[in-house]
C-alpha cells in the first residue's frame, strides 16, 4: 500500500510539473532538427545519455511532439489510428476516450530496477497472466511480448501504465478506463513504439 501511495504521489507530481513547464515555455520545438529523410525527425538537447531522440514520423506529425530540451518527450496519440496529434490541455470525454498520452524518458536500464515496486510483495490474484496486488485489480503487472514488465493502475478515470522499451526508454502512458484490457492496450503501445522509434 505504501508503494502504491508513493507511485500516485510521484505520478501527480510529474504530471503537474509537466503542465507548469508547458504553460511557461514558448518554444517547445527549438531542439528539433530537420532530416534529409522526410520520415525521420530528431530532437537534440542536454540529455543524461547524450543521445538525441529520433522518430520515424512525417513532418505533419513530428511538429506535435513536445520537447523542452531535456531527456523527456511528450506525445499524444489517437487510438486506434496511431496518429500523433496536437496535445490538448482541456479535453472532452470523446477526445479523452480516443487518445493516449505518452511521456518517453531516456534512462540507463542498468540503474533502473523495473520490478522494485513489487519487491517482496505477493500478488492478491493472478488471472490470465496479470498479477493484481490490490483487491479489485487496482495495481497490476504482467510480462509483455517483448519480455518487459508492464505496471498499470487506475487513477480517477484513467489507467496509468509504465514500461521499459528497447532497453533505453522509460515509457509512461495513460488512457481512458473505458479500455479494460491492459494487455491489449500495451500491445498497441508496443506496436506504436516499434513503428516510430528508430533503432
pLDDT tens for each residue of 27-56: 344 455 544 455 689 888 654 555 788 999
Work out whether the CA dihedral 67, 151, 16, 174 comes out positive or negative: positive
Domain presence at residue 179: yes
Per DSSP, the three-state class of 68 is coil
> Are 71 and 49 contacting, i.e. CB atoms less than 8 angstroms apart?
yes
Domain presence at residue 62: yes
Domain presence at residue 116: no
Over 80: is that where the pLDDT of 5 sits?
A: no
The reported pTM is 0.78
Domain containing residue 57? 2-110+164-196
Domain presence at residue 13: yes
Grid coordinates belonging to 65: 511532439
Most confident of 5-9, 10-14, 21-25, 172-176: 172-176
In the beta sheet, which residues pair with residue 160?
153, 174
The number of folded domains in the chain is: 1
Over 90: is that where the pLDDT of 127 sits?
A: yes
Domain presence at residue 9: yes
Most confident of 4-8, 36-40, 44-48, 99-103: 99-103
Give the model's pLDDT for residue 28: 47
Among residues 22, 54, 23, 59, the alpha carbon closest in space to that of 39 is found at 59
Domain presence at residue 104: yes
Cα–chain center distance at 14: 12
Domain presence at residue 67: yes
pLDDT band at 25 (very low <50, low <70, confident <90, very high): very low
Domain presence at residue 132: no
> Are 57 and 65 contacting, i.e. CB atoms less than 8 angstroms apart?
yes
Please give the Cα distance from 33 to 41 (Å, whole number).
7
In the beta sheet, which residues pair with residue 72?
105
Amino acid at each position: 500500500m505504501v508503494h502504491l501511495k508513493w507511485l500516485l504521489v510521484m505520478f501527480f507530481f510529474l504530471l503537474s510539473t509537466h503542465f507548469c513547464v508547458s504553460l511557461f515555455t514558448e518554444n517547445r520545438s527549438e531542439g528539433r532538427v530537420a532530416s534529409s529523410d522526410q520520415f525521420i525527425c530528431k530532437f537534440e538537447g542536454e540529455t543524461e545519455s547524450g543521445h538525441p531522440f529520433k522518430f520515424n514520423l512525417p513532418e505533419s506529425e513530428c511538429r506535435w511532439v513536445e520537447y523542452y530540451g531535456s531527456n523527456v518527450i511528450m506525445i499524444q496519440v489517437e487510438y486506434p489510428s496511431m496518429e500523433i496529434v496536437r496535445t490538448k490541455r482541456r479535453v472532452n470525454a470523446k477526445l479523452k476516450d480516443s487518445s493516449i498520452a505518452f511521456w518517453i524518458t531516456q534512462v540507463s536500464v542498468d540503474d533502473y530496477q523495473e520490478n522494485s515496486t513489487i519487491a517482496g510483495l505477493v500478488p492478491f490474484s493472478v488471472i490470465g497472466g496479470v498479477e493484481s496486488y490490490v483487491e479489485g485489480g487496482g495495481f497490476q503487472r504482467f510480462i509483455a511480448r517483448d519480455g518487459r514488465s508492464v505496471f498499470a493502475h487506475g487513477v480517477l478515470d484513467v489507467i496509468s501504465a509504465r514500461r521499459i522499451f528497447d532497453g533505453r526508454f522509460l515509457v509512461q502512458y495513460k488512457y481512458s478506463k473505458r479500455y479494460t484490457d491492459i494487455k491489449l492496450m500495451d500491445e498497441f503501445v508496443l506496436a506504436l513504439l516499434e513503428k516510430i522509434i528508430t533503432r
